Amino acid sequence: MARKLLMEEYPQGDITVIDTKSASLGEGLLLYYAVKMLREGKSKEEIVEWVENNKLKLNHWVAVEDLNHLKRGGRVSGTAAFVGTVLNVKPIIHVDDEGRLIPVMKVRGRKKSIKTLADILQERIVRPEEQIIAISHGDALEDAYYLKELIQENVKVKDVMINNIGPVIGAHSGPGTIALFFLGNSRQL
Over residues 70-126, the pLDDT tens digits come to 787 777 778 877 888 889 999 999 999 999 989 999 999 999 999 999 999 999 999
pLDDT digits (tens, 9 = 90+) for 19-63: 999 988 999 999 999 999 999 999 999 999 999 999 999 999 999
CB 26 within 8 A of CB 60: yes
d(CA 136, CA 108): 21
Smallest CA-to-CA distance from 65 within 102, 106, 96 is with 106
Q: Residues for the chain: how many in total?
A: 189
- The 3-state DSSP composition of the chain as helix, strand, coil percent (nearest 5) reads 50, 20, 30
With bands split at pLDDT 50, 70 and 90, how would you rate the model's confidence at 69? confident
Alpha-carbon distances, residue 52 vs 16, 31, 33, 69, 131 (angstroms): 11, 12, 12, 32, 18
Give the chain's domains with CATH numbers: 2-54 (no CATH), 57-183 (3.30.1180.10)
Strands 101-108 and 132-137: unpaired
Q: Is 141 helix (H, G, I), strand (E, B) or coil?
A: helix
Contacts of 68 (CB under 8 A, 6+ apart): 81, 85, 174
pLDDT recorded at residue 67: 85
Q: What 8-state DSSP symbol labels residue 158? A: S
